[in-house]
Amino acid sequence: METSNKTAREIYQEVKANPARKKFGFGRKAALINVDPQKAYTRTDLFKTAYETDPRQLEYVNMLAKQFRALGWPVVWTHVAYMDSGEDAGVWGTRTDTEDSLQNIKYGSERSEFDDRLEIDRKGDAIYTKRMPSAFFETPLQSHLVWHQVDTLVITGGSTSGCIRATAVDSLSRGYRTIVPEETTADKHESYHFANLTDLLLKYADVVAVQEVFDWLEGQGS
């Protein structure tokens, strides 16, 4: 195993700057998958479980969603919520049982709500409740993507080390070109955030500047 005194951020920046690194690239048609941008994870003023990496994250997500809708391409939002008993969290909900614990994000609770800053089209966008890390696990997402005949997924949200990573791995495993706009993901600590961006970039996805995605989408409408 290679060892290093460099920080996770420094390693990520080195990998990102490597001119020899090849990309999967964009395909013909994409879907936007916004993973768990809910108050439990976005409202740092309300909940200890929340985090912020780029202060413009939700603004960028809204901008992406607007561009996707203008193209007639699918926009998907996921959030986690559980029964009062928490039993649908399964073994994932057994390690702790505090008010901040995962399984205590209840249906109808403030923690389960999408952030108020998000511009969600509740009639036209797809909204799924999920209970495990990946947006694919036991949700209708795969069928939705097949219906829309997409070959590329743009994934935003949090956390980078948890549900973003799980969704990106599942995305690649299902044959999708997988794009993670760096400024649109967040995590609790920069070490987890940048270590997982590095791993995604090396193996599973193209981690790119959000402007690169804006520019590609703009070109699809011409």
- Ramachandran class of 163: left when φ > 0, alpha when ψ lies in -120 to 50, beta otherwise: alpha
The whole-angstrom separation of Cα 138 and Cα 157 is 19
Is residue 181 part of the annotated active site? The answer reads no
Q: Give the closest residue to 9 by CA, choosing from 196, 213, 204, 203.
A: 196
Residues 6+ apart with CB under 8 A from 74: 31, 32, 68, 125, 126, 144, 145, 148, 150
> What backbone torsions phi and psi does residue 75 show, to the nearest 5 degrees?
-120, 125
Q: Are 181 and 34 in contact (CB under 8 A)?
A: no
Q: State the first-to-last Cα distance of the chain, in angstroms, to the nearest integer.
A: 48
- The strand pairing partners of 155, in sequence order, are 33
Residue 176, SS3 per DSSP? coil
Catalytic residue selected from 76, 145, 163, 213:
163
Q: Which residues are catalytic?
A: 163
